[in-house]
Amino acid sequence: MAEGYVATEHTHGHPALQHHFENMEQQREAGTLGMWVFLVTEIMFFGGMFLAYLIYRSAYPASFAAASNHLDIKLGAINTGVLICSSLTMALAVYSTQLGQRHLSIIFLIVTMALGLTFLGIKGIEYHSKYTDSLIPGKLIPGRPFSPEVAKPGEEGNTHKLHLIPGATVQNVQMFYWIYFALTGVHALHMIIGVGLLSFILYSSVRGRYSPEYHAPVEISGLYWHFVDIIWIFLFPLLYLLGRHLE
Amino acid sequence: MSEHIVSRKVYFAIFGVLMVGTAATVVVAFIDLGGQFNTVVALTIAVIKATLVVLYFMHVRYSSRLTWVIVGSGLFWLGIMFALTLSDYWTRGWLPPR
Amino acid sequence: MGTFTTPAASRRNYINAEYGIKSWLLTKDHKRIALLYLGSISFFFFIGSLYAIAIRLELLTPQADLVQSSTYNKMFTQHGIIMVFFFLIPSIPATLGNFLVPMMIGAKDLAFPRLNLLSWYIYMAGGLITIYALLAGGVDTGWTFYTPYSTTFSNSYVVATGLGIFINGFSSILTGLNFIVTIHTMRAPGMTWFRLPLFIWAHYATSLVMVLGTPVLAITVLLLAFERLAHIGIFDPALGGDPVLFQHLFWFYSHPAVYIMVLPSMGVVSELIANFSRKNIFGYKFVAFSSLAIAVFGFLVWGHHLFVSSQSVYAGMIFSFLSFAVAIPSAIKVFNWTATLYKSSISYDTPMLYALGFIGLFTVGGMTGLFLASLAIDVHVSDTYFVVAHFHFIMVGGALFGYLGGLHYWWPKISGRMYPEGWGRFSALVVFVGFNLTFLPQFVLGYMGMPRRYHVYPPEFQVLHVLSTAGASILGVGLLIPLFYLIWSMRYGRIAEANPWHLPGLEWRTPSPPPTENFEHTPVVTWEAYEFAPIGEMKVIGKFRPQVEKV
């Protein structure tokens, strides 16, 4: 048995086939599996923050309800709708690539990215209103520590002031906002990464790199995008809808 | 392993259910259902929405058993972290304070 | 099986395939990346050892005469951080794992070679940031970063160190991800799950822990940093937070982390025991499944670090019970290794000496872990030197011994040279003696009440501390010797043939050092792992049932 060190014969397959894989199917399987394993790490990453939310919400239910009611439910609901639309367009982008409809897939990718940026824009508006109401927790903004104005009885109409329900304290409202910014901030970061990822996919699509035979990167990016949507599907009710029935 | 292509009809149908679910969640949030029931309903709707996204948009319904195991493990491990940590927080009050 | 007597340099292999620093720093070859890691890990081990030397020197006397308290706090903190995050966690997976996983399954590389290289750069970035933090002034919170000291009161470089650890975590995640996908999708034809070497099973289980646990550390360190920077109260009782929540989140990762450190070492030991006793491992499936069991159960026990933290006693009871349960799969491994040794043909080469040392020392470490798992005993020995001795028996007597044994065992494959066997055995003995002298007295110290992380102590403890420091000096010498002869052997060692130990493993079926693509043709596996020739034929060199048949 000769111990050769002659170079392994190249399987001249698809130009996108990497040298250490035997065939495109193995490469696709590995790539998909890799993204799923990565998403599991993301579940655990967000999970830590969800755990903190759960514990403090159980400890300070009134404060959390009061703080949640101060969030803009209209913007939150619109953002939820925006992300669900973007999941649809992402799925359709993958679908079009599977069928070789390059122009359609490019359009869907662009729409998905636009919806993602819309989400981020709306989030920015929300963050700004928190800033003006001095609801950014602790000393995150050095010149503007957490110091919301508390509404007195009779000031129900004022949306810039914090309405405390019985049992709520400003300190524990700050705890809510700490968790709110941690969760939505990390989520927004993942959205930004997602948009970046899709821009790379868009570029490759425009260059004609994908086809019915080779579109694994589009599928895999889709998995990431849907996952970020799922996180928001949980964030919305947990952060925005807590205490609406107490309003 | 041939790839299963999900039809557009399914995608649009799931999209419809997701939007309806979102609207329902918002509407129900304003109705006082007593005790913790509001949370239960909101989370149930969220879980259904997430499940639909996972099964159809992420193609898990048509994926290998290995993928199912991976998704299941991630959720199971999250469950472990929650359950055992809560075993501390929810039993702290059991001992009478000295 | 051919033998090569021409110098390695004149035969094309992964080391001389390309020259120049760019070919190493931009390589995608898992073997070269393993060597990059080998160098960096050795560097960090050296730094961590310097802190250990300083600690043991200070502890020679009961007074604080070498360093001030604030400096001592930084010394044990930094010893822990460097050794845990920058040596133990990556050690075997990033060096031996990276090198061998593709070869043992018959693949050309890992599934994601570029992610592999990225993981090394991430590791270096995290490490250098941490070194910067150490040089800038250090961190004094203990490697466990308990709040609210770390978030509110400490005046040290907590955020910078935390950033280094956060970044390093991604290196771990990428390595684990790579291994999982590779083992699932790139096994050679005929390499079924139950023909895999136990080294692979161990690394698969380790990768599960890396992937599921490390993200929680990441979010914990992130929250810690934000709390410190922004003065928010998620862990601060003065602001409505709970410091025990930090401990839950921290230990949810850090307990499974100890299994990241020891599981690969157990995988190495399985290889060493079977191969150096030339006998099929006893109870292969039990050993394989016990690796998975340790990975799973390891996630259920973190509360045993919180027994004295004001955690609910009921939760404590649950965690105590589960901590007893996690010992069972480890014990199963020890029983199976012992049964493998029984009536076998043992050769006491250096790797085997380390493997035998592992079995003894890990058993001691594991049994003292049971003491700690008992709530009532733990109340007394928690935060004493008993705990310190326990985890050093596992981490040094266990993980490090496996690492050294594996490094020697696969050294001919990695470098194409044999290390000097006499020196190898001698230093293994020195390490074993030094280790025991260092840490056995610490069990007694802890039981007698010597607290950990203290450097001022009652004079009646001094004798034991002096013994421990003496042992540490011997241990240090024993660990330095291999550094010299391994480097020496790279140039002057005996040229190693493809299969210098005459063993059936797939990694021994390629030249030493291997070519870049590992195998000339994709192997087709038709035999089980650890198939040795009948005893009567053992003495004949080269006669064994091959594990592989050519395509």
SS3 state of residue C273: helix
Q: How far is C299 from chain B (nearest CA, A)?
A: 8
* Residue of A98, A229, A247 lying closest to B53 (CB–CB): A229
Tell which phi-psi region holds residue A136, choosing left (phi > 0), alpha (psi between -120 and 50) or beta. beta
Contact between residue A68 and residue A239 where contact means Cβ atoms under 8 Å apart: yes
Do A172 and C113 make contact, defined as CB atoms within 8 angstroms? no
Q: Helix crossing, C243-276 with B65-89: angle to 10°? A: 130
pLDDT class of C238 with cuts at 50, 70, 90: confident
ipTM: 0.92
Question: Do residue A30 and residue C241 have CB atoms under 8 angstroms apart?
Answer: no
Q: What is the pTM of this model?
A: 0.93
Q: Is-contact C14 C98, C-beta < 8 A? A: no
* Residue C96: both structure tokens together: 């031996």
**Predicted confidence (pLDDT) per residue in A146-162, tens digit:** 888 888 877 777 778 88
B91 and C302 within 8 Å at the Cβ level: the answer is no
Instruction: Determine which of A233, A234, A235 to mutate to test the interface with B (most B C-beta atoms within 10 Å).
Output: A233
| pLDDT bucket at B35, cuts 50 / 70 / 90 | confident
Tell me the pLDDT tens digit for each residue of C313-352.
999 999 999 999 999 999 999 999 999 999 998 999 999 9
Is A55 within 8 Å of C510 when comparing Cβ atoms? no
Least Cα distance to C228 among A165, A214, A54, A140 occurs for A140
What is the rounded average pLDDT of the residues C292-320? 95
Listed residue (C479, C388, C394) closest to C434, CA to CA = C479
C contact residues 233-292, partner A, Cβ 8 Å cutoff: 233-234, 239-242, 245, 248-249, 252
> Hey, are the CB atoms on B54 and A230 less than 8 Å from each other?
yes
Task: Give yes or no for B43 touching A (CB within 8 A).
Answer: yes
Neighbours of chain A (3+ CB pairs under 8 A): B, C
Cβ separation A77–B81 shorter than 8 A: no
For residue C299, the one-letter residue type is F
Dist. CA C77–CA C135, nearest whole Å: 14
Nearest to C303 among B88, B92, B94 (CB): B88
Residues of B in contact with A51 (CB under 8 A): 81-82, 85
C301 within 8 A of C322, measured Cβ to Cβ = yes
Q: What is the dihedral of CA C106, C110, C113, C119, to 10 degrees?
A: -140
Please check whether residue A29 touches B, CB under 8 A: yes
Query: Using beta carbons and an 8 Å cutoff, which residues of A are at the interface with C?
Result: 1-8, 19-22, 26, 29-30, 33-34, 37-38, 40-42, 44-49, 51-52, 55-56, 60, 137-140, 171-172, 174-175, 178-179, 182, 186
Provide mean pLDDT across the span B14-42. Answer: 92
**C468 and C438 Cβ atoms separated by less than 8 Å:** yes
For C252, counting Cβ atoms within 10 Å of its Cβ (0-12 exposed, 13-18 middle, 19+ buried), the class is buried
pLDDT reading at A203 higher than 70 = yes
C65/chain A closest Cα distance in angstroms: 41
pLDDT number for residue C536: 44
Closest CA–CA distance from residue B92 to any residue of chain C (Å): 5
pLDDT value at residue C533: 63
- Backbone dihedral angles phi then psi of residue C305, each to the nearest 5 degrees: -85, -10
Inter-chain residue contact B89 with C313, CB threshold 8 Å: no
pLDDT at residue A107 in the model:
97
Which chains would you list as touching C if contact means 3+ CB atom pairs under 8 Å?
A, B
Neighbours of chain B (3+ CB pairs under 8 A): A, C
Average pLDDT over all residues of chain C: 92
Mean pLDDT of chain A: 90
Q: What is the pLDDT of residue C3?
A: 42
Size of interface A-C (CB pairs under 8 A): 140
Q: Left, alpha or beta for A104 (phi > 0: left; psi -120 to 50: alpha)?
A: alpha
Taking contacts as CB-CB distances below 8 angstroms, the residues of chain A near C249 are 48, 51-52
> What does the pLDDT look like over A72-120, one tens digit per residue?
999 999 999 999 999 999 999 999 999 999 999 999 999 999 999 999 9
**CB spacing of A241 vs B29 below 8 angstroms:** yes
Asked if C507 and C501 touch (Cβ cutoff 8 Å), the reply is: no
The answer on pLDDT for B47 being more than 80 is yes
Least confident interval from B15-24, C28-37, C541-550: C541-550
Of residues B73, B81, B89, nearest to C216 (C-beta): B81
**The tokens of A66 are what?**
């009061």
Above pLDDT 90, what percent of chain C?
Answer: 84
Binary contact (A88, B1; C-beta < 8 A)? no
Q: What is the mean pLDDT of residues C151-168?
A: 94
Using one digit for the tens of pLDDT, what is the confidence trace for A28-53?
A: 999 999 999 999 999 999 999 999 99
Residue C456 has pLDDT above 90, yes or no: yes
Q: Is there a contact between A222 and B12 if contact means CB atoms under 8 Å apart?
A: no
Per-residue confidence band for B98, with pLDDT thresholds at 50, 70 and 90? low
Which residue among A20, A29, A49 places its CB closest to the CB of C113?
A20
**B87/C314 touch (CB, cutoff 8 Å), yes or no:** yes
> In this prediction, what percent of chain A has a pLDDT beyond 70?
95
What pLDDT is stored for residue A83 in this prediction?
A: 97
Angle at alpha carbon of residue C455, lines to C451 and C461, rounded to 5°: 65
**3-class DSSP state of A73:** helix
Q: Which of C184, C248, C299 faces B88 most closely, judged by CB atoms?
A: C248
Chain A residue with Cα closest to B49: A233
Distance CA A230, CA A238 (A): 13
Query: In A, which residues are within 8 Å of B89 by CB distance?
Result: 55, 58
Handedness of CA B41, B46, B52, B55 (dihedral sign): negative
Residue C201 contacts residue C291 (beta carbons within 8 Å): yes
Give yes or no for residue C548 having a pLDDT over 80: no
